[in-house]
Structures are given as structure tokens and as C-alpha cells.
Amino acid sequence: MGKGDFTFYAGKYVFIGDSFEFRNPITCQNSISASAKISTTSDMECKTKIAVLAPADNQNAHVWFYGTGGASRGVIYSSQTGIIQIRPDNNDNGGSNGYSFAFGADGKFTCVTMNQTSDERVKFDKVPVSKALEKICSLTGYTFGIQLTESESVRSAGIIAQDLEKVLPVAVSSGGTGTTPAGEEINDLKTVDYSAMSALYVEAIKELAERLKIIEKELADLRGPTVA
């Protein structure tokens, strides 16, 4: 096959052999399928989507990441149970050794632990939370159902974002979409940063500790001097 552009207008074309090499970009208006693999030493671009199919309904579909030596750097895989998992690997000898982060169809995210940036060196305009105990007492803890779609819901527990927004607005964000139990679509769904509430907990406990000190002193004064 000579140099320059070439076009397949219709039908199915099969290249027989161990490999077939294109030295220049390939443009396909519909789809490219391979029963084994498609390798590239440069970039591969797709304007719409890349579909990764599982070999069977009871097996996972995978997107793997490898180093030049063949060691696994991680994998994204999805099962028929409605869970997409991301597993980073750092095994220089090859193979998998990471723990998976799981994203469920029910909206749950599962991992071993989660760390958030909290270094003092990157923070500024620090203002202590005031009247923390009063603010916590204005909140109510509930168990509730959450509508995921028009037909799917889950049970959970927590607080109401609108209530928290009144006393700690920095812990509440708006964005994304949701569905009400009546089937109405919400375009400014409110979410809660529960880790931000630790500022309320810490300051409220300190306020309680100060009250306890005062009560203990008043009680000691009422009892009078201790007789040895």
C-alpha cells in the first residue's frame, strides 16, 4: 500500500497477519473494532466516546494503565453489580497491589480513608467559629430517604443542608441536579461538607468545657473548704 491518504468507502476490511501499521493519522467517521488490541506510540483522540465492553456479562470491563516495563499503574473497572472501581497500583515488580475506590449506582463512594488538605501554610483569613454550641443546637439530626432518580431511592442519616447554611454557610454548596420525591428536577442541588462541621464540633466542645469548669468551681465554693 503506497504513501498518502486512502479511504474505505463501504464494507468490512480485514488485515491478515501479526500486525498492520499505519504511519500517519487514521480518521474514521463511524467506528473501529479490534478483536485483540489497538496499540499506539503517540496520542489517540476520540470526539464522542470510547466504549469498553466486558468479555461476558458476568465479567468486568477494564481500562488499564501500565508503565513502560509492563508494571500495572492502576485500573478502572466496572462490574454488572452497578459499581465502578478505581484501583491505583504502585508495585514495581508488576501485578496489582492497590486498594479500590468504589463508586456505586446508589450514589455511595467507598474507600479506606479520605484525607483533605488542611496545612496551616496554605490557609489564610482564619476566623474562629463563634457560638458553636448554639449553632449545633439549632440543627436536627434525621434519618431520611434520598431520592436518586424517579424510581430509585436510598435511606441515609444526617442533617439538612438548608439548616446548616443558616449557621455555617461555608459548609454548604449548590450545584448539580437532583430529583424530588414528586419527580421534579432540581438544578441547584445543595450538598454538605461534613468535614467542615468539625470546626463546629471542636469549638462547641471547648464551650462545654468552659461551662463545666465554671460549674465545678461554683460547686466547690458551695461545698466549702475540704477538711483533711
Q: Is residue 25 part of a domain?
A: no
Q: How many other CB atoms are there within 10 angstroms of residue 90's CB atom?
A: 10
What pLDDT, in 10s, does the model give residues 83-96? 999 998 887 665 66
Same domain, 211 and 125: yes
DSSP-assigned states of every residue in 148-203: -SSS-EEEEEE--HHHHHHH-GGGEEE-S-EE-TTS-EESS-EEE-GGGGHHHHHH
Residue 7 pLDDT grade (very low, low, confident, very high; cuts 50, 70, 90): low
- Tally of domains within the chain: 2
Are 98 and 144 within one domain? no
Kindly state whether residues 133 and 206 are assigned to the same domain: yes
Q: Average pLDDT, whole number, for the chain?
A: 85
What's the confidence (pLDDT) of residue 1? 45
Is the same domain home to 87 and 148?
A: no
- Percent of the chain clearing pLDDT 70 (strictly above): 82
Domain with 164 in it: 120-219
Residues 212 and 127 in one domain: yes
What is the distance between the alpha carbons of residues 36 and 51, in angstroms, rounded to a whole number? 15
d(CA 88, CA 76): 9
- The domain boundary residue, chosen from 92, 110, 128: 110
Q: Specify the pTM.
A: 0.70
Q: Of the spans 23-32, 64-73, 123-132, which averages the highest pLDDT? A: 123-132
**Could you count the other beta carbons within 10 Å of the beta carbon of residue 75?**
19
Q: Which three cell numbers stand for residue 179?
A: 430529583
- The residues, any chain, with a CB within 8 Å of residue 60's CB and separated by 6 or more, are 54, 77, 78, 79
227 in a domain, yes or no? no
pLDDT band at 114 (very low <50, low <70, confident <90, very high): confident
Q: Are 103 and 109 in contact (CB under 8 A)?
A: yes
